[in-house]
Amino acid sequence: MAKRVTLKINNRQHDIEIDDPEMPLLYALRDEIGLNNPRFGCGLGQCGACTVHIDGRTARSCSISVSAVEGLEITTLHGLGTPEKPHPLQIAWIEEQVNQCGYCINGWIMEGAALLARNPKPTEKEARAAFSTLICRCGTHNAALRAVMRVSNQA
């Protein structure tokens, strides 16, 4: 039997009907709400492509259920900044030319933004630790680190 669920995503309420309350948040975000980020990567919460912020903390949306986040504030890459007013890390990402294929960008920016929100001036070691659970096959790790440090140096 379908259940109506209200999710607060990027400062907007979304009412959706789901058949399974254990459905991964990732599926609701992509298939029900229509957001093209986060991305499906490994489906096990190990790669980070599906990273979102839930009440300001990073979470892997492929491994957390819709029922677990009802009533919590969910922020995706779409809600981090806008084309008119991008998040400082999004600006630094462009300035450092971080992207290669771009598939994992969601996780890297969301992890970096969460780190900068907790600690506006992280050390390089702290930034490396924040990124240690993410996977990028293109090898843009050092450019992503430079982007975080660029924002840190501006704080």
Q: Can you read off the two tokens belonging to residue 3?
A: 């259940």
Residues 9 and 72 in one domain: yes
Residues 58 and 24 in one domain: yes
> Residue 128 belongs to what domain range?
88-154
- pTM as predicted: 0.93
> For every one of its 155 residues, what pLDDT tens digit does the chain have, with 9 covering 90 and above?
789 999 999 999 999 999 998 999 999 999 999 999 999 999 999 999 999 999 999 999 999 999 999 999 999 999 999 899 999 999 999 999 998 787 889 999 999 999 999 999 999 999 999 999 998 888 888 999 999 999 999 87
The string of DSSP codes covering 45-87 is: SSS-TTEEEETTEEEETTSSBHHHHTTSEEE-HHHH--SSS--
Using the 3D structure, point to which of 79, 100, 122 is the last residue of a domain: 79
Residues 92 and 62 in one domain: no
- What is the reported pLDDT for 93? 94
